[in-house]
Chains A and B, each alone.
Chain A
Amino acid sequence: MSALTFTLKQAPAQRVDLSPLVCQKLEGLSLAAIAAIELHSGKAVLRVDTLFDISGSDAQNLVFRSHSEKLDCIGKALNGGSIRVEGNAGAYLGLQMKAGSITVSGNAGLYAACEMKNGLIQIEGNAGDFLGGALPGSKQGMKGGTVVVKGHVGDRCGDHLRRGQILIEGNAGEYCGSRMVAGTIAVMGSVGRHAGYAMRRGTLLLWNPPHLPASFNDCGSHTLAFLPILFASFKGLDSRFADSRVAFNRVRRFGGDMAETGRGEVLVRLAQPESTH
């Protein structure tokens, strides 16, 4: 069976909510039934076949061929199966996703992996603001799973992150890990100002020294035993994080945000082992 493929005919004028097009909702439907599914686009309601050419039959493997950044909510509440986006994804990619995998060959918009519960999201390009964050008004963001971004991410990455891991090969914007409750965010590139702002618990794992708020306190240099286990868990990923040469276990630890509970940590890679005194 070939993947059930949706090829965008032309870029929509308004943003389109693709949340009905997830594996568990399409399973067992005929192409005609899928074509008749209604999608919301602003005040308009569009049939799927007005937007997409549909081919293939395997509803557990979806492909979206998109040259638009207005396709929102791809993989919303996905509960198994895989989705591949060839091109760009709009906002809310993998919103509240429960299981399965989503890969995006291009960029993803705002709120990717927002309130995600489990599974894997891999974005080959860049991701927008609030990656792995919480919907406005919600107190808990991403609660599990893994997000890999090979490019850069916007501001407020991991806002209210509760659990799970966000791995960023590029740079992160401002307020990375803001209001984190727990979980792990790893950034190989640089991070913007106010990293870890108001974080309660959790780990920001950084390859480069950040500009931290004054409410983070230096806890010194340490060799941490959990880091080799963490890096070993990345080995199956299609990412630079899987490369054992990027792994380290020697870090400078900053505790904070002391304006909050102060149980969070920012771990900054130390390039060379320090001698013990």
Chain B
Amino acid sequence: MAATIARNFARIRGHVLRRNTPAMLFKHARRYNHDEVNNYTVPYFPEEAKKRSSDAEYPDIEVSTEDFKFVERLLPQKTVPIPDEQELYPTPSGWVPTNENLQPKEYGVRRTRNHMLPCYYKKHNNGRETVKIQRIYGDIWKLKEDLSGYFASNVEFPVDIQVHEVGRWILVRGNYTEQVAQFLLSKGF
């Protein structure tokens, strides 16, 4: 019984505190005129206020336009630059440019804006793993046939491939990111 009384008392006390504190803050809050606050100090000293007024004499400044070149190199890039041509491919990080001589006529796959292959690996929450190829144009069914042919010769197990004709993407079941990338590079995309 004593415990319940104590608990109730605490609850009542907490309730009262919670209800009253914000209300008290609101009551004492004042809307300040910001110009007034900026121009005058509290407590009021006329000398200090004179320093901050618009008629006051401000210390010297130096304006330079030469040093603005240091600012220009800090600003972000607005467009993605085109990579320089190099003698040897692949580059140290393994990047290869597109090769138009190898590309078939029936279909094509565009690179992303960052000059990378548009194939994306995803691990779903239920453990399913998929690889998606995007940015396809032309005959998507011919691409699917060629891809399944590539898998038949390079992968032991049969691989399921889904084609979405309207969305222009192909979904491969399983983590075959490397094989898909190799296939796309062999076709010159």
Q: Do A and B actually bind?
A: no
